[in-house]
Amino acid sequence: MIQAIRKGRRKRSGNIRVEESTWRRFQSDWSKHQWSEKSEVENIIIDVQGLSSTAWLSLIDWSLARQETTPVVLQYPPGHHDPGQLHSVFQDSRTRLAILSQEPEEPLAYPTLRPDPIRPLSWYLLKLAGDVELPCKVTHRPPPSFTSPPPLWVPPNSASTLEEVVAAARLAAGDSAPPDASEDSSEEMRLFAASLRYPEGDADWADRIESVDPLAAWIACPDDNRWPLWRRQGNRLGADWISLLPVEQVPIEFLAEVAGTAPNDWQELAHNHLVQRIRDEDDLALRLRTLIDSHHFNDVASSWLTSTLLSQVAWLPPELASDLARWAPNSISKSLPSNIIPALTGLTWLSSQGELDDNWVRDIEASQRSSPIINGWISLLSTVRDDRTPSVEEIREITSLPIEWWAPFSPLLFNTITEGVDGREMLLGESIPWASALFRQIGEIHTIPGIGEREHPGCPTDLVSRLERILQGVEIDVELQGFAELTDVLNTLKSILVGTKPVVGQIHPMIGWLLQPRERWPAFSATEIVNGDPEVAARLAAGISGYHDGLRESTQRRL
């Protein structure tokens, strides 16, 4: 046959080897496929594109008639299958799978897989004799090739390390399917199996393993199923693992309860999610107020939810804002949220509207809760009220507050911190927006929670000598977070002192203009403004210069 195809349909004598009609049908059935002769047939895939159904079925006949014992997967052409041939295919021990595009007219007495009408693709129904149907998931991945985790693989100990652990697990597993670790497997093996299922998840496996290993179940759980699992196992999992829980999956009535004890990063996500919903849904704030009244929450959850409502008080109806002023300070003071900034912002706004007196400040100060933000605010209050000099640690906490709160006191804070070795190390080693705090207009008004309005004294005139002393001997290539900020402050001050154009800044290219007279400013584009440090960008966008005549005086070089 192959020889006849290679030589053509005519002999040298001119006699026809095959009938013309037969030859034309052959050409039509087999199109322009290439023919070859191979002695090895292992792992061969035969492309049937372009073949007629007749040619396709003849290949199946050839597979049945061959002598080799190689297993085979067969696919029938759409709408074509011979019942007798089909039964022969199923009875052949070499047949691993036969694929049909549609149901055969005659019943099949063999196990069959059909798409599951309910579950998503890759889920099928395995139909057995006696109308038995079992759901099963089909995957192209090979079966697991290991019975224990790789020797150097380290299980995850928190959600923050999970991505790295998962990458290492996948590298070790290659294309293998996740092992079907069970209750009898080791804890390490269960975590390895769970890591290979992350982040897509495997709900069935997670359900099976949950009772014996909640952490493995949590890692392997699909996002859509995480909230019910957290409700059942959250206390056992602990706050280190809550970051895997999408805030959108938590019902509003439970969000405060979860966020109240969650890490700050997750609290912020929950806060932003709830804030957006309060703005989008007119009646949500009232429903949340009702939840607090119902005593559904403990003090921690009530305080967190109250803080979020206070942060949006300007968006609330006037009657609800007035109601909030009556009970919010007491709710907050029972258990201060670790991030009290949203609450303080809202309480300050209510005070400015005449809805609150100053008693709320004392109530919150008297609370026993402690956090860097709470401590920073209380230190700022005592610094102003008692006219005292804060310590380096207090300055660290104060400068973690919103810059508008401490900017009027930034000259005092900066001068204080330059006096000691510890302070200088902090200046160089930490990223604090000194330029945006110092480079402000004399008399610029700032409203500080618990303090009221304060005027900015303007940029000090003695900073050049201080900065030169701090930066002296520091190598330029040293990776110090505060070095670039201090260098930009020094260069900006020198430009004013000697009357030259601003130097292109490191933290923001346009930082030098913040101390130039406003009339000299060029017209910045939006792209130029946002291209750099956000605090500098905010000052540029406000269009307020910190220039004053004292900056040109020679006292800049005297300490």
The answer to whether residue 559 scores a pLDDT higher than 50 is no
pLDDT band (50, 70, 90) for residue 33: low
DSSP letter for each residue of 346-357:
HHHHHHHTTS--
pLDDT band (50, 70, 90) for residue 533: very high
User: Lowest-pLDDT range, 35-44, 381-390, 408-417?
Assistant: 35-44
Of residues 307 and 20, more confidently modeled: 307
Return the pLDDT at 147.
Answer: 74
Dist. CA 138–CA 97, nearest whole Å: 13
The answer to whether residue 358 scores a pLDDT higher than 60 is yes
Dist. CA 254–CA 231, nearest whole Å: 10
Return the pLDDT at 24.
Answer: 65
CB 559 within 8 A of CB 465: yes
pLDDT band (50, 70, 90) for residue 97: confident
CA angle 96, 100, 104 (to 5 degrees): 115
The answer to whether residue 10 scores a pLDDT higher than 60 is no
Query: Helix or strand or coil: residue 135?
Result: strand
Span 300-319, average pLDDT: 93
pLDDT band (50, 70, 90) for residue 525: very high
Span 99-114, average pLDDT: 77
The answer to whether residue 504 scores a pLDDT higher than 70 is yes
DSSP letter for each residue of 361-418:
HHHHHT-----HHHHHHHHHHHHHHTT-PPPHHHHHHHTTS-HHHHGGGHHHHHHHHT
Average pLDDT, the chain: 87
The answer to whether residue 106 scores a pLDDT higher than 90 is no
Strand-strand pairing, 72-75 and 95-99: parallel
Please report which helix (H) or strand (E) contains residue 115, including its range: strand 112-115
CB 198 within 8 A of CB 179: no
Query: Helix or strand or coil: residue 481?
Result: coil
Return the pLDDT at 143.
Answer: 61
The answer to whether residue 555 scores a pLDDT higher than 60 is no
Span 58-66, average pLDDT: 80
Return the pLDDT at 48.
Answer: 72
CB 523 within 8 A of CB 498: no
Six token digits for residue 25: 């049908």
Return the pLDDT at 19.
Answer: 65
User: Lowest-pLDDT range, 28-32, 352-356, 528-532, 555-559?
Assistant: 555-559
Span 81-85, average pLDDT: 74
The answer to whether residue 479 scores a pLDDT higher than 80 is no
Return the pLDDT at 328.
Answer: 93
CB 51 within 8 A of CB 30: yes
Of 8-17, 57-66, 226-235, highest mean pLDDT = 226-235
Return the pLDDT at 558.
Answer: 47
Return the pLDDT at 357.
Answer: 87
Of residues 30 and 165, more confidently modeled: 165
pLDDT band (50, 70, 90) for residue 135: confident
